[in-house]
C-alpha cells in the first residue's frame, strides 16, 4: 500500500484530527492510488488559522521576492512534469499527452505570475488640487480558499494559487476528492520552492462539509471555486451572507458551428479533439455540433467513421486516444443522459455503451464515444451539461440561426466557428455571447495570458488567467497625498485654485 497522503498545514504534513481516511481510485484499473486523510471542519479551521497568521508577514514580502519563489515553482514543475503527468493519468484517467499539457499550463502560469511580481500595476491620475498626488494600488486581501474540480487537477489550482500568492494572500486549498494526491503533490512543489510556513495549506476530503465550513468561516475573505453550476451557486449564496468575495468558474455547453464553406478535414480533427479529448470532461468540451445543411451529410459520415475508430484504454499507453471517465458514478450520469437523448427522439449513430479495458479483465469506467444526430436545440441533451463523451449534431440553415442556437443555452463558456469567409468570422466574433470564441479551432485550448471564463450560468462575471486573474485576489486602494500644508476640500475649494 502506498503512503498515506496528508494535509499540509502550517508547514507540516499532518493527519486529519478524526484519523479517518478514504481511498483515491484509478478509474482505468479500479486500483487504489493512495489512502487519503479525510478532513473535517476542525482541520479546515486549523488551516485557516495558520494562513491567517502567515498573512501578517507574507503580505509584506516585496512582490518581486514573492515572484522569485513562483519562478522556482515553475522550474520545479518543469523538473517533475513527467512524474506529475503520470500520476494524473493514474488518478483521474486523462491520456498521458493531455496530462503533460495540464502540467505545462501550470508551468506557463508560474512564469507569467512570477513576472507579475514586478508589475502588479496600479495607476496614477491627475488630481484637482495643487500640491496633491493620487494613485490607485492593488492590495492583498487575506486568507483565500481555493476549491477545485478533478478534470484539470494541476492547471486549475495553478490558475488560482499563483495569482493569489503573487498578490500577497495566503491560501487554504481544497482539491476535488477524486484527485487529492495530485493536490498534495502540487503543494509539495511550493514547499520545496521555499514558500513560508502557513502561506499555502491544503485540506483533503469531501466537498460538502469542508465547503460549507469555508463559506461560513469568518477569516476566509475570498473563495475561488471551479466546479459544477449547482454546487457553485449554493456556495455563492452561502458565502454572500458573510460578505465574501467569490469567483466562480462553472459548467459549459459549448458548440462548434461548421459552415458549408469550412475546411472539412480540419473541422473533423478539431471536433474529435474538442468533443472526446479528456473523454469529454472539460468545461470547454464541445458537446454540440451546429452544422449547416449543405455539409452535414459529409461531415457526419466522416465523424462516425473516426469516432468508431478511437482507441479507448489506459492513458499511460501512448497509443490510447480516450481514457476512462473519472468514476463509476460519473459514468452512470452520462449513460442516463444517453437514455434521455434516445427518449427525446435523437438518433444515436455510435457509442452509447459502458465498457471496460479488454486488456485488463474489463476493468475501468470507460464509455464509448457517442454521436447523436437529429438533435433539436431544445432537447435536454442539447441544453444540459453532460460532461462526458457525447456529441449532439444539430442542423441549421445559416449563420444567423447557428449563432442564435449557440447563444440559447444557460451557459456561456466557449464557442467556435469553422468558415473560410472572413466576414462571417467577424460577425460571429461580434455576436457569439460566450467568454471565449475560436475561429477555425475547436472549443478547447485556452492560453494562460488571456482571460478565461464564461457568461451566464458559467460563472459570476469573474475571469481567471491573464492579468484579470488578479481581480479575484486583490482589492483596489486609492491613495491621496496632500503636500500643500493646508486644508484643500475636493469639489468645494476648486475656485481657490485659479486665484492662487
φ, ψ at 29 (rounded to 5°):
-120, -15
Q: What are phi and psi of 22, to 5 degrees?
A: -140, 170
**Smallest gap, in angstroms, from Cβ of residue 104 to ligand NAD?**
17
Smallest separation, CB 151 to ligand NAD (Å): 5
- To ligand NAD, the closest distance from the beta carbon of 83 in angstroms equals 23
Q: 68-96 burial by CB neighbour count: b if 16+ within 10 A, else e? A: ebbbbbbbbbeebbeebbebbbbbbbbbb
Active site (annotated) includes residue 350: no
CB of 24 to ligand NAD, least distance (A): 13
CB of 220 to ligand NAD, least distance (A): 12
- State the Cα–Cα distance between residues 228 and 270, nearest whole angstrom: 25
Catalytic option among 98, 116, 185, 249? 249
Distance CA 94, CA 281 (A): 9
> Of 208 and 294, which has the nearer Cβ to ligand NAD?
208
* DSSP conformational letter for 5: B
Q: Cβ closer to ligand NAD: 130 or 208?
A: 208
Query: Phi and psi of 231, rounded to 5°?
Result: -65, -40
- Contact residues toward ligand NAD (CB under 6 A) are 147-152, 174, 176-177, 207-208, 211-212, 226-228, 231, 234-235, 249-252, 283, 385, 387, 413, 454, 458
CA dist., res. 146 & res. 102, Å (int)? 18
Strand partners, 286: 254
Using CB atoms within 10 A of its CB, is residue 422 exposed (0-12), middle (13-18) or buried (19+)? exposed
Considering beta carbons, is residue 168 or 459 the nearer one to ligand NAD?
459
Nearer to ligand NAD, 145 or 268 (CB): 145
Closer CB to ligand NAD, residue 129 or residue 413?
413
Measured from the CB atom, is 34 or 250 closer to ligand NAD?
Answer: 250
Q: Is 450 left (phi over 0), alpha (psi -120 to 50) or beta?
A: beta
Of the candidates 105, 283, 385, 464, the residue annotated as catalytic is: 283
CB of 193 to ligand NAD, least distance (A): 24
- Ranked by CB distance to ligand NAD, the top (closest) residue is 211
Q: How many angstroms separate the CA atoms of 53 and 170, rounded? A: 9
Is 353 considered catalytic here?
no
Active site residues: 249, 283
Amino acid at each position: 500500500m502506498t503512503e498515506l497522503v496528508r494535509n499540509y498545514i502550517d508547514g507540516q504534513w499532518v493527519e486529519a484530527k478524526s484519523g479517518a481516511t478514504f481511498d483515491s481510485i484509478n478509474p482505468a484499473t479500479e486500483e487504489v492510488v493512495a489512502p487519503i486523510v479525510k478532513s473535517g471542519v476542525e482541520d479546515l479551521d486549523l488551516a485557516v488559522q495558520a494562513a491567517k497568521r502567515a498573512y501578517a508577514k507574507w503580505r509584506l514580502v516585496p512582490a518581486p521576492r514573492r515572484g522569485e519563489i513562483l519562478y522556482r515553482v515553475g522550474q520545479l514543475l518543469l523538473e517533475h512534469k513527467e512524474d506529475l503527468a503520470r500520476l494524473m493519468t493514474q488518478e483521474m484517467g486523462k491520456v498521458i499527452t493531455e496530462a503533460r499539457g495540464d502540467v505545462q499550463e501550470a508551468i506557463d502560469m508560474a512564469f507569467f505570475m512570477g513576472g507579475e511580481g514586478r508589475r502588479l500595476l496600479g495607476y496614477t491620475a491627475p488630481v484637482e488640487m495643487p500640491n496633491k498626488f493620487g494613485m490607485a494600488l492593488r492590495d492583498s486581501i487575506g486568507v483565500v480558499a481555493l476549491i477545485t474540480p478533478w478534470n484539470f487537477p494541476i492547471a486549475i489550482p495553478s490558475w488560482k494559487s499563483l495569482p493569489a500568492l503573487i498578490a500577497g494572500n495566503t491560501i487554504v486549498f481544497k482539491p476535488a476528492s477524486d484527485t487529492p494526491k495530485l493536490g498534495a503533490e502540487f503543494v509539495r512543489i511550493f514547499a520545496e520552492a521555499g514558500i513560508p510556513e502557513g502561506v499555502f495549506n491544503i485540506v483533503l476530503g469531501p466537498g460538502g462539509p469542508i465547503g460549507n465550513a469555508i463559506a461560513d468561516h469568518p477569516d476566509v475573505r475570498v473563495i475561488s471555486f471551479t466546479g459544477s453550476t449547482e454546487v457553485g451557486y449554493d456556495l455563492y449564496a452561502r458565502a454572500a451572507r458573510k460578505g465574501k468575495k467569490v469567483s466562480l468558474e462553472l459548467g459549459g455547453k459549448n458548440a462548434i458551428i461548421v459552415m458549408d464553406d469550412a475546411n472539412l478535414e480540419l473541422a473533423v480533427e478539431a471536433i474529435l479533439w474538442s468533443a472526446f479529448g479528456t473523454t469529454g470532461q472539460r468545461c470547454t468540451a464541445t458537446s454540440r455540433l451546429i452544422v449547416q445543411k449543405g455539409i452535414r451529410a459529409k461531415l457526419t459520415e466522416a465523424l462516425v467513421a473516426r469516432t468508431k475508430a478511437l482507441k479507448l484504454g489506459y492513458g499511460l499507453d501512448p497509443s490510447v486516444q480516450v481514457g476512462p471517465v473519472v468514476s463509476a458514478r460519473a459514468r452512470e450520469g452520462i449513460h442516463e443522459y444517453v437514455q434521455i437523448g434516445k427518449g427525446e427522439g435523437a438518433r444515436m449513430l455510435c457509442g452509447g455503451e459502458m465498457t471496460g479495458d479488454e486488456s485488463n479483465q474489463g476493468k475501468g469506467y470507460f464509455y464509448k464515444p457517442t454521436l447523436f444526430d437529429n438533435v433539436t436545440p431544445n432537447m435536454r441533451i442539447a441544453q444540459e451539461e453532460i460532461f462526458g463523451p457525447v456529441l449532439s449534431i444539430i442542423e441549421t440553415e445559416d449563420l444567423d440561426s447557428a449563432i442564435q442556437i449557440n447563444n440559447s443555452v444557460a451557459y456561456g463558456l466557449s464557442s467556435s466557428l469553422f468558415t473560410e469567409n472572413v466576414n462571417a468570422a467577424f460577425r460571429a466574433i461580434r455576436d457569439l455571447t460566450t467568454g471565449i470564441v475560436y475561429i477555425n479551432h475547436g472549443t478547447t485550448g485556452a492560453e494562460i495570458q488571456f482571460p478565461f471564463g464564461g457568461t451566464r450560468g458559467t460563472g459570476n462575471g469573474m475571469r481567471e488567467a491573464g492579468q484579470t486573474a488578479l481581480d479575484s485576489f486583490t482589492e483596489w486602494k486609492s491613495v491621496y497625498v496632500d503636500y500643500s500644508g493646508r486644508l484643500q476640500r475636493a469639489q468645494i475649494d476648486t475656485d481657490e485654485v485659479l486665484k492662487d
